[in-house]
Structure 1
Amino acid sequence: MRHCMAAIRQSLMASVVLMVVPFWSGAAHAQQAAGQGALNRSPAVGADGQAQADEIVVTAQKREQRLMDVPISISAYSQEALDKRGIKDISDVAAATPGLNFGSTGVYNRVTIRGISTGARGGSQGVGSSTTAIYVDDIPIQARPIGGGAGVYTSATPKIFDLERVEVLRGPQGTLFGGGALGGAVRFITPEPNLKEFTGYARAEMSDTSGGGISNEAGVAVGGPIVEDKLGFRVSGWHRRDGGYIDHLSLIPGGVRQRNADKADSYVGRAALTFKPSESIRITPSIYAQDVHSYDLGTFSALDSDADDGKFLVTTPLLSPVRDKFFIPSLRMQADFSGVTATSITTYFHRNHQTDTDYTFVLPLSLSGSLPTSLDQYQITHIDTRQRNFTQELRLSASEPSARLQWTIGGFYNRAKTTGFQTIESPRIGDYIPGVVLLPGGLSYRATAPVTNTELAGYANFEYRFFDTLSVIAGVRVSRLKEDFHIITEGPLGGGFVEINGKQRETAVTPKFGINFKPDPDNLFYVSAAKGFRPGGVNKALPTISSACAAATAALGASNLGDYQSDSLWSYEVGSKNSLMGGRLNLSFSAYHIKWKNIQSSVRVPQCLGAFVANFGDAKSDGFDLAVDARLTKNLLAGLSVGYTRAVYTNDNISGGRIYTHSGDQIADIPPWNIVASLQYNFELTENVQGYGRIENRYQSRNKGNLTLLDPTNANFDPAVRRNESVNQLNLRAGVLYGGLDLSVFVNNVLNDHPLLNVYFSRITADYGASTIRPRTLGVSATYRW
């Protein structure tokens, strides 16, 4: 049956490709024949002087530009496009975007661009700081490591409702976006209040997942002038319940037995006010808030489940809930004067991330090799992570689009205090370690890790147009970074009382250079070189749960690991953006070569069920991404995006007689190929009612290269690891449009594909389960815009 499904998928993909490729060739020939007819065509502009909906405007260079004019590989999605494709969160964005990968174990997640990842399981639980910057407007919200594991350093990811657009910037963006953008950046851009007219947006949806529960959502956004041209507002609120599809059936009597236990509730709210006292000044205070509560991990036991039959089970005795909530108050002030725009952005990011993970099987298996027999032998770890980030940015930029010199200079300050709290509650650990002395409350482990990071940076970016068709770009960012940490671990699993204090200081310089050739408004060719870096961090002491663990840490000199340093890379890219046949065919292409040095890497200590971070290994990432949008006929639209990445180590790394990397090993289990193909047919039902049908297939290939965790000669070898399977998701949607109403029915994952992802064949921790994409889901959705 699986072979039949694979054949169907391949034929579907081939059909779309065969339809697009001949048209592409014909379009290129027709463009040559057209001569100079389209060379002076300007972008579509409405009566208010703003670009129309089909002319996407982005701010990837911290100034408004047509997507067509930006010499960066970017995928940009408007809210309407996100709705049409059923994209609700960053995992959906990653599935639809070449070069972008998202991995999750329920507690940890990692966002990876162009293979720049140090997460062994496809980026789901990475090493060191995040390699991808996450922004809400101009506000960085990604997390930093906390004591090497005393807290959860997974980054917050906004849900998608009432956004102006989502931008995915591929390649290092260190010059304008700082140290978190080693591989790229994902930006969630919110709409500003309208000062001229009232507008609104509403969305509601209900769906049913095969073998799972009902999902539903409802939200509304509205805004407009309070005083026309002077004062306006926009407010929004949204809730979504994701029905679960993983059953929690405890192996121990008295434990949890609950169907669809992995359900989740998400709440998002935003309020913004814009005051325009004069034509040249705009002041916008706003607040964004999000609260996501997952009642159990979205992972399951690979041993006890039957993925082919769509049955997913968790067998631990306790639930492992996750709660992630944050709010972001901000103040944006902008003033225009004498050809210059001055912008000030002041923000505060307040986040609490809490998780309880069932450790009931961890210690018994590690210490005695047997499972507990009663619920009172439970073990559970509580992790509470708190982020308190203050950010101030000031920048000046040229405001005359026709000027030969376009420039942006700015200063950036960030103070991020992150505190991780972790405890392991194990009142019956004495059954496995006779004579052990617990901390109050039956705790076998307790860690507190306050870490304060500060960054003071200045940056400048210039683009000078020598001729009407040729320009050069040069930019640089100089960052001074400081980290202060004070880490305390206690309890028998921490080897008693251990205290680590320290400071880390470094200065990073990230330049960028580029040459752009733009023969006409519809074609852009560019080459660029850019540097990215990732700040270093600090390790905490490893838990010493046995004499073997203590011996292993002593042999590695790992009792007090201290800090690890930053790593950096250079990316070299060539690309083009082309609009042909009067806009009927749009192409975007880029190819890149990345050289990565001094990589923050994981050193596993199996005897301690843990790892620490060290700098070793060099790597390279080579690949390309291609996006094609074509209007095949008046009513038939086709889309194709292809991303290819090959990210491998370039040297053998041996330390202490142990091999950690071989030249040619994959950096992580990242899918080499990402292919998304779509067809949409629009038709008229009546004079006022239009209909449409859409088919979209999202494919991620299996990584068949050498993985370090699967190499028996590697020090990090783990025989329990299984390679990620390929992912194929076929989605269908059909709907009608009447005025501002879009009413549609959809089927996601039509073929009910259940690939096993992030698999560890063990019951040791929840991270050693498996995950998959949501099974076949049938639903109805309605959006309304006015």
Structure 2
Amino acid sequence: MQTNTTGAFRRRSALALTLAPILSGGLALGAHAQTATPVAPQASTEEPGDTIIVTALKTSQRLIDVPAPVTALSANTLTEQNLTNIRDYFNRIPGLQYSGQAVHSLSLRGITTGGATNPTLAVLVDDVPFGSATANGDTDIPDFDPAILSRIEVLRGPQGTLYGAASLGGIIKYVTQDPSTTQFTGRVEAGVSTVAHGGQGNSLRGSLNVPLIKDRVALAVSGFYRRDPAWVDNTDSNTGQFLANANHQRQWGGRAALLLRPVDNLTITLSAIRQRLRTENSGLVDFKSDTDFNSVNADPYSVTRVLGQPSRSQFDVYSARAVLDLGKVQVTSVTGWNVNESVPYQDLTSIFGGLLGRYYPGLSSVFLTNSHRATRFSQELRLSGSSTALDWMLGGFYSVEHANISQTMLLMNASGSLIDTPYVGAGPSTYRELAAFGTVTGHLAPGLDLQVGGRYAHNKQDNLSTVATTGVAQYIFGFSSSEEHRTSESPFTWLVSPSWHITRDVMVYARVANGYRPGGTNTLADGVPGTYRSDRVVNYEAGAKGSVLEGKLDFDLSVFQIDWSRIQLQNTSANELTFTTNGAKARSRGVELAGTVRPWTGGAISGNATFTDAVLTQALPAATDGGSALVGAKGDRLPNSARFTANIGLDQKVRLGEGVSGSLGVNYAWTGKRPGDFLNSLAAAGRERQMLPSYGQLDVRAGVALDAGWSVNVFARNLTDERAVLYAINRNGTTAPYGRYIPPRTVGVQFAGSF
């Protein structure tokens, strides 16, 4: 049976290949941007003249000066509209696809083949790389609460020169707020919400900035607690116990940042972020078939599974950033350490209960814990400078990751007591990367620039796999074993990007750049290649962006083609071990258009539209030596990529009286049909590749604010209560389909005060 397992250990155990995948589905130049429009990647709902500043290219720039496609979402936008998870706002970002809560389930511009191969986009917190560059860490999407953030920047297209491995599709960058050494400020927020067909939720956020020594030392702290409303009922498949609104989750955390300026030209920022998530039961629904996405239960928001499948995850990010301004040269050091960990439980009684029940009298339930833990240390040192002739940057980077996937099978009796743990597996791994990079931007003529850059990297991997089985489990899952594998490679990435400022606020550019994700090792078994190589993309792009009509019209247009070679694929050997191999080619081409028009005072109409055609240009290779493989012909579309997506929103601000203002907003997002994962050659006859239906989502909001700093906002997300499929899973056609709907209509109110 072919499945999408994760990490080094996924390729080393028959049980891992069967179980781990079941778990994985269950579950935006200043220091910050002004309030950004919810849909346009370079527009603001503020009056003309306001400027959005981003740091996507590791330097502060006006968003309309970045010769690359960038989307910026401010923390204010996220909180006012209750957009707290990436699944809430991914469809407002051109080119971003979402198919699950792991980083490898995110993709940009269609660059994915599905499955649990290495991630195709990189996640950063400020300039600190978060999570793992490989699938061994199986990193969850951090979904940092807006209380911790200033904004989110999404940079589309390969970014291998500045950001290294696993950024062949682009990057998602969470940007935090720097402490202020001049102003004492604070903010509090409280909210409540309710979801159709379900229960209630609440949230509380707070932040405080304290200048401890004026112009020299400042402390900023923020924290939050959030309980999201639940709407999926669960009837226990063993006992018949009914639990309404079972898919509830709680999340809390905070950040503390200390800014030190011992001398005028040196700034040091120390930051610590901690976030925790606890869930009970999942919101996954079993579908009737690969083509019928109605729930198998009469109630679409009802499931029949064993109750008590908790999951917990944690994210910790610690960083030290030092900037030394030497006049013509600026020296920047960024040191980071982060840990992410998740421990989900999955009910596997329906799969293994009957088989194991023969050997374990009194067996009632079979659970699997699939613990993922990854730590990463990184150090970057770069020098940069500028003159009338050129701007330049030169840097070095070092990173080491330690990851482990640990699986434990739990056999329980009817009273919930543990009978045995017949299977324990672990897959610790280490990934090291050392790189040097640089960019030079020559100012060839007034308004005409040429940027070139390159990055040389060397990485090494060490993967260990251990399996411990006891008793009869040895005959079912194999005997205890241990294996160790090593690999290394030295990739080079580059970029060339000319740009021309027709006016100060209008620019056209072209960009040719490449990117890669690391290769790795497989288990030593018959018919399985010992290693697999990195895959590569080359992106050809032309774009135009700017602000015209005295700031009343902002626009951003990009046209691209990405050529992808040596694609990493997950196949299965004859003895049921999953492994990664290289094969086939693909390309993605498309057009991305976004803009904001401000036709009257206080009003802004923003929108974007994206056309993406991501297909195989070479058939996927067939299985060898009795194994199985993904099936894809030339011209077949890549997974999870809609040909057309669009977004349009209206924001209106009005003065209601002395010291009082009001706001009204409407947003409509359209997501087109998306193909599911490729089928596997083991899929039963008659199974069809999934095609997820298109859907639209309407959100509205309104608010009243006092100039004194207090405000109240009401919102309704999915106002029409659409029951749309967010994503679906059928393990490449080898298991019954299941997935997740978008949340039903959610209505809430947010109270906020600033001082």
TM-score between the two structures when normalised by the length of structure 1: 0.83
Match of 1:507 among 477, 490, 498: 490
Q: 2: distance between equivalents of 1:768 and 1:372?
A: 30
Distance 1:582 1:218 in 2: 40
Match of 1:26 in 2: none
Q: How many angstroms does 1:70 deviate by?
A: 0.4
Q: Bigger shift: 580-589 or 384-393? A: 384-393
Instruction: Rate the CA distance shift 1:144–1:659 in 2: closer, same or farther, 3 A.
Output: closer
Matched-pair contact (CA < 8 Å) for 2:499–2:510? yes
- Per the alignment, in what secondary structure is the counterpart of residue 93 of structure 1? helix
CA–CA distance in 2 between the matches of 1:157 and 1:56? 23
Distance (whole Å) between structure 1 residues aligned to residue 344 and residue 83 of structure 2? 26
> How much does 1:318 deviate?
3.5
Return the letter of the residue paired with 2:562: I
Question: How far apart are the structure 2 equivalents of 1:417 and 1:128?
Answer: 17
Q: Residues 489, 734 of structure 1: CA spacing in aligned structure 2 closer, same or farther, 3 A cutoff?
A: same
SS at match of 1:692: strand
Judge conservation of contact 1:143–1:154 (CA < 8 Å) in 2.
no
State whether structure 2 residue 79 is matched by structure 1 residue 98. no
Q: Is the 8 A contact 1:424 1:444 kept in 2?
A: yes
Aligned 8 A contact 2:102 2:141 in 1:
no
Letter in structure 1 aligned against 2:116: V
Q: Deviations over 1:482-506 (max 9, x none)?
A: 0011111233344212322111100
Bigger relative contact order, structure 1 or 2 (CA pairs below 8 A, ≥6 apart): 2
| Matched position secondary structure for 2:571 | strand
What is the alpha-carbon distance in structure 2 between the residues aligned to residue 455 and residue 211 of structure 1? Answer: 49
Residues 1:385 and 2:372 are matched in the alignment: yes
Structure 2: which amino acid aligns with 1:347? G
Tell me, yes or no, if structure 1 residue 726 matches structure 2 residue 694: yes
Amino acid across the alignment from 1:300: V
Per-residue CA deviation, residues 21-79 of structure 1 (Å, 9 max, x unaligned), is xxxxxxxxxxxxxxxxxxxxxx99xxxxxx99931111111111100100010001222
2:581 aligns with: 614
Residue 244 of structure 2 is aligned to residue 274 of structure 1: no
How far has the Cα of 1:258 moved from its partner?
1.5
Worse overlay, 561-570 or 590-599: 561-570
For residue 87 of structure 1, what is the aligned residue in structure 2?
A: 83
Amino acid at match of 2:154: V
For 2:729 and 2:102, the matched residues in 1 are separated by 15
Other-structure match for 1:72? 68
Counterpart of 1:478 in structure 2: which amino acid? Answer: Y
Q: Does 1:593 align with 2:561?
A: yes
Q: Name the CA distance, whole Å, in 1 between partners of 2:93 and 2:565.
A: 26
Secondary structure of the residue aligned to 2:550 is: helix
| Residue pair 1:629, 1:640 contacting (<8 A) in 2 also | yes
Question: Which residue matches 1:775?
Answer: 744
The aligned residue for residue 319 of structure 1 is: 308
Change (3 A) 1:591 1:240: same
CA separation of 1:634 and 1:72: change in aligned 2, threshold 3 A: same
3-state SS of the aligned residue for 2:76?
Answer: helix
Change (3 A) 1:311 1:659: closer
Tell me the equivalent position of 2:20.
Answer: none
Match of 1:473 among 438, 442, 451: 451
Superposition deviation, residue 180 in structure 1 = 1.8
Instruction: Tell me how far 1:632 sits from its aligned partner.
Output: 1.8
- Distance, in Å, in 2 between the alignment partners of 1:299 and 1:529 is 41
SS at match of 1:361: helix
| 1:305 Cα deviation after fit | 6.8
The 3 A distance-change label for structure 1 pair 127 and 228 is same
Within 5 Å, give how 1:392-541 maps onto structure 2. Answer: 392-398=379-385, 400=386, 403-426=388-411, 442-491=420-469, 492=474, 493-540=476-523
1:326 positional shift:
1.9
Separation of aligned partners in 2, 1:643 and 1:200: 39
From 142, 153, 169, the counterpart of 2:131: 142
CA 539–209 in structure 1, closer or farther in 2 if over 3 Å, else same: farther
Judged with a 3 Å threshold, the aligned counterparts in structure 2 of structure 1 residues 407 and 107 are, in CA distance, closer, same or farther, namely closer
What is the rounded CA distance, in whole Å, between the counterparts of 2:266 and 2:119 in structure 1? 36
Other-structure match for 2:172:
186
User: Is the CA contact (8 Å cut-off) linking 2:286 and 2:295 kept in structure 1?
Assistant: no
Contact conserved, 1:252 with 1:374, CA < 8 A, in 2? Answer: no
Structure 1 partner of 2:27: none
* Structure 1 pair 606–198 and aligned structure 2 pair: CA distance change class (3 A): farther
Partner residue of 1:351? 340
What is aligned with 1:265? 250
Tell me if the contact between 1:72 and 1:169 (Cα under 8 Å) persists in the aligned partners.
yes
Distance 1:659 1:240, change over 3 A: closer
Residues 522-563 of structure 1, C-alpha deviation per residue, up to 9 Å, x if partnerless? 10000010010001233458xxxxxxxxxxx86xx25xx643
Distance in 1 of aligned mates of 2:68 and 2:559: 11
Number of matched pairs: 695
Q: More deviation in 520-529 or 767-776?
A: 767-776
Shift of residue 723, structure 1, vs aligned partner: 2.3
SS at match of 1:645: strand
Task: Tell me: CA distance 1:244–1:238, structure 2 relative to 1, closer, same or farther (3 Å).
Answer: same
Measured in 2, the distance between the counterparts of 1:659 and 1:89 equals 31
AA matched with 2:487: Q
Q: Which residue does 1:652 correspond to in 2?
A: 619
Candidates 84, 105, 113, aligned match of 1:110: 105
User: Deviation at 1:588?
Assistant: 0.3
User: What is aligned with 1:284?
Assistant: 269
- Using the TM superposition, give the Cα deviation of residue 274 of structure 1 relative to its aligned residue in structure 2, in angstroms: 0.8
1:642 Cα deviation from its structure 2 partner: 1.0
Matching of residues 121-140 of structure 1 within 5 Å = 126-140=115-129
1:579 pairs with 2:547: yes
Q: Which moved more, 1:386-395 or 1:66-75?
A: 386-395
Tell me the equivalent position of 2:186: 200
2:661 aligned partner: 690
Q: How does 1:146-161 map to 2 (within 5 A)?
A: 152-161=138-147
Contact 1:128 1:536 in 2 (8 A): no
Q: Matched residues in 2 for 1:178 and 1:537: separation?
A: 16
> How has the CA–CA distance of structure 1 residues 183 and 579 changed in structure 2, closer, same or farther, with 3 Å as cutoff?
same
Query: Is the CA contact (8 Å cut-off) linking 1:199 and 1:785 kept in structure 2?
Result: yes
Q: In 1, distance between residues paired with 2:166 and 2:421? A: 35
Q: In structure 2, do the counterparts of structure 1 residues 656 and 328 end up closer, same or farther at CA, with 3 Å as the change threshold?
A: closer
Further displaced range: 612-621 or 452-461 = 612-621
Q: Judging changes above 3 Å, is the alpha-carbon distance between structure 1 residues 590 and 109 closer, same or farther for their aligned structure 2 residues? A: same
Contact 1:299–1:766 (Cα < 8 Å) also in 2: no
- The farther-off stretch of 313-322 and 133-142 is 313-322
1:362-406 deviation per Cα after TM superposition (whole angstroms, max 9, x unaligned): 2258x69x99999833111111122121111101111x5x63311
Deviations 1:169-207 (A, max 9, x none): 000111101112110000010011101111223222111
1:379 aligns to what SS in structure 2?
strand
Taking a change above 3 Å as real, the CA distance of residues 205 and 332 of structure 1, as seen in their structure-2 partners, is same
Q: 1:360 to 1:467 in 2, by over 3 A?
A: same
- Give, as a single letter, the amino acid of the residue that structure 2 aligns with 1:414: S
AA at the equivalent of 1:405: L
Tell me the amino acid that sits aligned with residue 128 of structure 2: I
**Distance between the aligned counterparts of 1:375 and 1:696, measured in 2?**
54
Partners of 2:477 and 2:129 in 1: CA distance? 33
5+ unaligned residues in a row in structure 2: which ranges?
1-42
* Aligned CA distance change for structure 1 residues 778 and 152 (closer, same or farther; 3 Å): same
Q: What is the DSSP-based 3-state SS (H/G/I as helix, E as strand, rest coil) of the residue aligned with 1:101?
A: strand
Asked whether the 8 Å contact 2:251–2:275 carries over to 1, the reply is yes
> 1:328 is matched with which residue?
317
Q: Could you list the per-position Cα deviations for residues 418-440 of structure 1 after superposition, in whole angstroms to 9, with x for gaps in the alignment?
A: 11111223479xxxxxxxxxxx9
Comparing 419-428 and 210-219, the one that deviates more: 419-428
TM-score w.r.t. length of structure 2: 0.86
Q: Deviation at 1:624?
A: 1.5
CA contact (8 A) 1:110 1:154 kept: no
**297-306 or 580-589: bigger deviation:** 297-306
Indicate the SS of the match to 2:395: strand
